[in-house]
């Protein structure tokens, strides 16, 4: 008997039917089996049979909140919603964090307009079950579109709710969600819990995906601190100070095998060589290492780089490119030379035409198409300063 019960416990999560055959009184296995049948989209659940199973289990354990939730869900699917919500309430009385009862209760409170309580229950759910944000995400815009709901959400995330990062990621999928997220960011500015770089970056990236480039750049400018404003220009942080926050209009380091990229101030760097140091590791290097979005209006420009190199060997070109994001197309590029040199000045003139190109992508990349070991990059490049200046028309 003891071995059967032990084996039943071992199998209850993966094969609840087998577990129940070994121990018919294994409530966890029974709950897993009923839940699996309810969630099976390949066939219609036999609700009467499942209800009988759940009620029978309840006679053995009247204090298990999960059973009340399961019976409530079956009643809900049978159209008996009033009775279902009574059962969900009973489950909540037994366990404040019963996951399914909470989800149904949140949905009901959104439907009835009891939004402050919906947010309070959402906070309980996500603190206990942080992976369940997607289950309630569809109701967030309705909450935020109502003044009462908006203030409740703002108060929760202002109190450092652990789900605030998930909130901003969920809102960056649609134009309406982005407007709500932008409003929340503005209202959090100056509070005791101001927006984080990752939250700001998520909303900016959402605007860019929606091709709403102007609000993306405007949010970036608004988010800058007084110290960060000193790094402004057509290229933000042109001297590669080690302050990158990962925003689209700031330097973004791409995961790339075959090289290492580090930022250092001139005071911290060896031999006073501040800037971005790129060390190639004698392997093939493909694609992008470093990039930043820029917003250049139509006109003529010059991009300039002050760089040093030690034993730099480039089997395929290494270059900075400027590409129009929409419509996609290269505007300019200039190559970085091989060899050993100190603070060499490199520059290239280019123009942004009058046709629509509201956003550009500046990136450091190689011309390698395939990662062939015949083309191995070697040496060190230090980029001290990279600037774009507008030329007189």
| Among 281, 278, 305, residue whose Cα is nearest residue 289 | 278
Say if residues 366 and 318 touch (Cβ distance below 8 Å). yes
| 66 contact partners, CB below 8 Å, separation of at least 6 | 31, 91, 95, 98, 100
- Kindly state the helix (H) or strand (E) to which residue 389 belongs, with its residue range: strand 377-390
Give me the number of domains the chain comprises: 2
| Among 91, 89, 160, residue whose Cα is nearest residue 123 | 160
Domain identity same for 32 and 141: yes
Please state, in angstroms and rounded to a whole number, the distance separating the CA atoms of residues 347 and 369.
Answer: 25
Domain identity same for 135 and 9: yes
Is residue 172 in some structural domain? no
Domain identity same for 21 and 134: yes
User: E strands, 216-298, where?
Assistant: 252-253, 259-264, 275-283, 288-294
Last residue of a domain, one of 140, 164, 188: 164
Last residue of a domain, one of 164, 186, 210: 164
Q: What pTM did the predictor assign?
A: 0.81
Q: Domain containing 139 — which CATH number?
A: 1.25.40.10
| Among 158, 390, 168, residue whose Cα is nearest residue 294 | 390
Is residue 39 in some structural domain? yes
Is residue 274 in some structural domain? yes
Q: Domain containing 287 — which CATH number?
A: 2.60.120.260
Domain identity same for 149 and 9: yes
Is residue 94 in some structural domain? yes
Domain identity same for 34 and 158: yes
Provide DSSP, 335-347: EPP-EEEEEEEEE
Residue span of the structural domain in which 68 resides: 2-164
What does each C-alpha distance from 130 to 120, 164, 167, 357 come to in angstroms?
15, 11, 11, 41
Domain identity same for 155 and 286: no
Say whether 129 sits in a helix, a strand or coil: coil
Is residue 200 in some structural domain? no
Last residue of a domain, one of 164, 188, 203: 164
pLDDT tens over the chain, length 393 residues? 333 333 333 333 444 443 443 344 456 767 777 777 777 777 777 777 777 877 887 777 788 888 888 888 888 888 898 999 999 999 899 999 899 899 999 999 999 999 999 999 999 999 999 999 999 999 999 999 999 999 999 999 999 999 999 999 999 999 999 999 999 999 999 889 999 999 999 999 999 999 999 999 999 999 998 888 999 999 999 999 987 678 999 999 877 777 889 898 755 544 456 799 999 988 888 777 799 999 999 999 999 999 999 999 999 999 999 999 988 899 999 999 999 999 999 999 999 988 778 999 999 998 887 777 778 889 999 999 999 999 997
Task: Tell me the chain's radius of gyration from C-alpha atoms.
Answer: 29
Domain identity same for 7 and 132: yes
- CA 4 from centroid of its chain's CA atoms: 46
Is residue 7 in some structural domain? yes
């Amino acid at each position: 008997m003891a071995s059967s019960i032990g084996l039943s416990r071992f199998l209850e999560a993966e094969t609840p039917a087998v577990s129940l055959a070994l121990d018919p009184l294994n409530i966890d296995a029974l709950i897993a089996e009923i839940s699996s049948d309810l969630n099976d989209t390949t066939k219609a659940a036999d609700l009467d049979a499942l209800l009988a199973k759940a009620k029978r289990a309840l006679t053995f354990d009247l204090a298990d909140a999960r059973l009340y939730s399961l019976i409530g869900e079956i009643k809900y699917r049978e159209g008996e919603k009033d009775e279902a919500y009574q059962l969900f309430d009973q489950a909540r009385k037994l366990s404040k964090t019963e996951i399914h009862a909470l989800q149904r209760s949140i949905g009901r409170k959104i439907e009835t307009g009891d939004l402050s309580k919906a947010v309070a229950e959402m906070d309980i759910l996500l603190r206990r079950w942080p992976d369940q944000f997607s289950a309630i995400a569809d109701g967030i815009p309705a909450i935020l579109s109502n003044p009462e709901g908006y203030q409740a959400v703002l108060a929760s995330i202002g109190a450092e709710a652990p789900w605030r990062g998930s909130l901003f990621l969920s809102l960056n999928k649609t134009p309406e969600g982005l407007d709500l997220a932008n409003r929340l960011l503005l209202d959090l500015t100056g509070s005791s819990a101001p927006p984080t770089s990752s939250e700001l970056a998520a909303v900016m990236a959402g605007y860019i995906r929606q091709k709403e480039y102007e609000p993306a750049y405007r949010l970036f400018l608004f988010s800058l601190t007084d110290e960060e404003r000193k790094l402004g220009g057509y290229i933000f942080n042109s001297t590669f100070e080690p302050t990158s926050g990962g925003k689209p209009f700031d330097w973004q380091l791409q995961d790339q095998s075959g090289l290492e990229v580090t930022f250092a101030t001139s005071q911290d760097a060896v031999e006073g060589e501040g800037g971005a140091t790129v060390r190639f590791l004698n392997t093939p290097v493909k694609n992008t290492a470093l990039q930043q979005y820029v917003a250049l209006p139509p006109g003529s420009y010059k991009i300039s780089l002050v760089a040093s190199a030690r034993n730099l060997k480039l089997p395929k070109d290494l270059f900075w490119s400027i590409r129009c994001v929409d419509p996609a197309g290269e505007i300019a590029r200039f190559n970085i030379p091989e060899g050993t040199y100190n603070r060499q000045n490199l520059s290239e003139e280019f123009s942004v035409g009058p046709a629509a190109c509201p956003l550009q992508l500046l990136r450091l990349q190689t011309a390698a198409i395939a990662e062939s070991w015949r083309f191995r990059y070697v040496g060190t490049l230090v980029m001290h300063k990279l600037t774009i200046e507008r030329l007189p028309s």
